[in-house]
Amino acid sequence: MSRAYRNSSDVPLDAIIKRLHELSDAVVGGRKTQAQEFVMRVPAECDHDADLILAEAAVRLDALRKYNAELQAESVQAIANKVCGDLPDGWEINLCMENGSGWVEAIKPSGYTIEIDGGDLSLVEQINEAMRQALESQSDQPENTHD
């Protein structure tokens, strides 16, 4: 442990993870171990002091949680943009969700709902299957050949 870091945000993630494991071990190690590991030093050691390590770990986890949520939102948005751009006229693809379940439905221009067999398919794969069915049905329709 050192005073090599001026701020907790400068401590490498590997060092924080290593220290979190040490602190976790100290929790079950008895009072002597806890007294040694949970001491706050003056001047503070950003890569050792338990309060600084725990606070920085919480900050980084929160940032990762927010980043992950943004990535997921962007990926759903990207899929929606792609599908909306390629979906044949009159067709709808619905992403349905309820507590404990998610599935995809395709709705034909006639209003007939096709439930996509989710089986072992991810939601993205179900959306792809719905899109495949919509595009195939479009190519199955006879072309209008009025002269």
> 42 versus 140: which is more confidently predicted?
42
What whole-number distance in Å separates Cα of residue 37 and Cα of residue 30?
A: 11
Per the prediction, the chain carries an average pLDDT of 86
CA distances from 31 to 22, 34, 114 (A): 14, 5, 63
Give the phi and the psi of residue 115 in degrees, each rounded to 5.
Answer: -85, 125
Banded pLDDT at 141 (limits 50, 70, 90): low
CA distances from 42 to 2, 49, 121 (A): 12, 10, 56
Delimit the CATH 3.30.890 region(s) of the chain. 72-140
> 143 versus 74: which is more confidently predicted?
74
- Taking residues 28-39, report their average pLDDT: 88
In this prediction the pTM is 0.53
User: Does the domain made of 72-140 have the CATH classification 2.60.120?
Assistant: no
What whole-number distance in Å separates Cα of residue 91 and Cα of residue 105?
A: 11
